């Protein structure tokens, strides 16, 4: 399939959801506007969609992390399919552990992309999910270079935009960094939001500058 300038394989039989996270389509294209010439870290990269768009938009390098080796195999194939395999590199790792290791090693990036799975699948899971979102965003902020970009998402419909924004603010405070909101986004326009069904407004995406 084609998505903007990129080509991807979609495994509709074994892939997660419908085999493709179509709801992030417009956000992937939007995020790619900020990557030209930069070093990109793609966390929870799955099959590499955000990073492939980044590479096609002129990113200097893309480093993708995911716990699933099966997903990473397809990410590597996507890099070859789009002829950006020289700039896209993937490895299997626990995101939280790996980000802490990268911070300890002094690594930092021009762009950090965070697209985690749903941390809250029920209302009872929300407090723990908010702690997870705070932790992962704090690590992402710390790994961003001064004036770098953080693109962070949540697909947990039990976590509201206001909740996620408060978590990001606290994460920035703990990281001792300032963040500036560039764009606040949601799901693609072909994923309708119904006033009578609040759970249809589930995807949150913030594009931030880390100062």
Q: How far apart are CA 66 and CA 46, in angstroms?
A: 6
Q: How far apart are CA 209 and CA 194, in angstroms?
A: 31
Candidates 189, 102, 202, 206; CA nearest to 160 is: 202
88 part of the active site? no
Per the CB < 8 A criterion, the answer to whether 107 and 146 are in contact is: no
Annotated catalytic residue: which of 45, 88, 155, 205?
Answer: 155
User: CA 9, 11, 16, 22: dihedral to nearest 10 degrees?
Assistant: 50
Q: What is the DSSP string of 163-176?
A: HHHHHHHHHHHHHT
Catalytic center residues: 155
């Amino acid at each position: 399939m084609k998505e903007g300038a990129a080509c991807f394989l979609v495994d509709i039989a074994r892939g997660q959801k419908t085999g493709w996270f179509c709801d992030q389509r417009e956000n992937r294209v939007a995020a790619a506007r900020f990557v030209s010439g930069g070093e990109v870290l793609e966390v929870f990269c799955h099959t590499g969609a955000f990073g492939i768009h980044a590479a096609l938009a002129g990113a200097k390098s893309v480093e993708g992390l995911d716990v699933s080796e099966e997903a990473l195999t397809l990410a590597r194939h996507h890099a070859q399919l789009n002829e950006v395999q020289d700039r896209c590199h993937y490895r299997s790792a626990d995101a939280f552990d790996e980000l802490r290791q990268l911070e300890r090693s002094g690594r930092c990036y021009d762009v950090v992309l965070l697209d985690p799975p749903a941390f809250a699948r029920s209302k009872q899971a929300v407090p723990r999910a908010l702690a997870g979102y705070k932790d992962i965003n704090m690590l992402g902020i710390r790994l961003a270079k001064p004036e770098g970009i953080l693109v962070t998402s949540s697909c947990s419909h039990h976590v509201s935009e206001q909740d996620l924004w408060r978590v990001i603010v606290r994460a920035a405070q703990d990281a001792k960094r300032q963040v500036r909101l560039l764009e606040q986004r949601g799901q693609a326009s072909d994923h309708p939001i119904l006033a009578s069904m609040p759970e249809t407004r589930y995807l949150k995406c913030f594009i931030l500058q880390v100062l």
